[in-house]
Chains A and B, each alone.
Chain A
């Protein structure tokens, strides 16, 4: 005999538990925790290199890659605490891997922890790491059709950073189409355009990070007044 049991349980129950623990830990420390997602070569590490050197926020980084510690070495060269996670073939990070990484980082006095996810526009969008926000990174060289082709990431992202804007004269890319599609997917996404190594557009991006970090340190009460 067979009995049907209604269970209504998230498949991710175990990972959501870990993500929830990370979220509570970061909330109690007042640390802004971001999950940076973009395809390989979008310029995630370069964006970080030029962000960490310019912001007054104290930062730490979790690097996720299939293999090598090359990205972590680039961040460490900027004297920023960093830990490298190698997924050994895995196409995304999961919360239990990130927790292990966070345990290896000195978090006292840190304002901002960024996870640089494995380069991939699909799978990383599916897994909650306990972050405050996802940030999508896309480069002009990839073409302007990415938001509609990979909507799951772009509808979840609080901010979208368009990188390599210095290539705009050389590549077929319509900014109107790109940002129009971002807005079509979801109203209110924060937009940034940067050519990170040249410093172009970095002020607005860093100002947003500092604003988000300040919000995290002083959480708003439900009525909207600071606690």
Chain B
């Protein structure tokens, strides 16, 4: 649903970076994506392929590293999965540890020569 907005942010961020740093063509992008970003990978890929022609990312491959949603156990400080209980002490989850990541990890840039 909002994958197109996410892809637009991604392409804008990388176009800006490519211009500032004088990169050549970008051949690949690795992203870290939290489970709470509610992104459907196939839809993201579809939007990405639609958005990149005519940009420095034209033809680039997209690789996703998915991060689970985890919360800090209120009881023992352990890790609690989304909607679950602490595997160690059975306590509820409090503060969010991970799940909202939406980060560019690396890009593969073509070099001259």
Partner of A187, one of B5, B74, B111: B74
* Chain B CB within 8 A of A126 CB: yes
Contact with B along A26-55 (1 / 0, CB 8 A): 000000000000000000000000000000
* Chain A CB within 8 A of B9 CB: yes
Partner of A184, one of B31, B83, B103, B104: B83
Number of residues from A at the complex interface, CB < 8 A: 37
Partner of A152, one of B13, B28, B38, B111: B38
Q: Which of B16, B103, B110 has the most CB of A within 10 A?
A: B103
Contact with A along B1-44 (1 / 0, CB 8 A): 11001100110110011000001000110010000111000000
- Whether A9 and B104, one on each chain, are in contact in the complex, defined by CB atoms closer than 8 angstroms, is yes
- Whether B92 and A155, one on each chain, are in contact in the complex, defined by CB atoms closer than 8 angstroms, is no
Residues of A within 8 A of B6 (CB): 11, 126
Q: Nearest A residue to B39 by beta-carbon distance?
A: A126
The SS class assigned to the B binding surface is mixed
Partner of B111, one of A1, A122, A183: A1
Residues of A within 8 A of B103 (CB): 8-11
- Whether A155 and B111, one on each chain, are in contact in the complex, defined by CB atoms closer than 8 angstroms, is no
Residues of A within 8 A of B109 (CB): 2-5
List chain A positions with a Cβ less than 8 A from chain B.
1-15, 90-92, 94, 120, 122-123, 125-127, 148, 151-152, 155-156, 181, 183-188
Known: A2-B27, A5-B23. 11 other contacts (CB 8 A): A8-B104, A9-B103, A11-B6, A11-B9, A13-B13, A91-B1, A92-B5, A122-B1, A123-B5, A126-B2, A152-B100
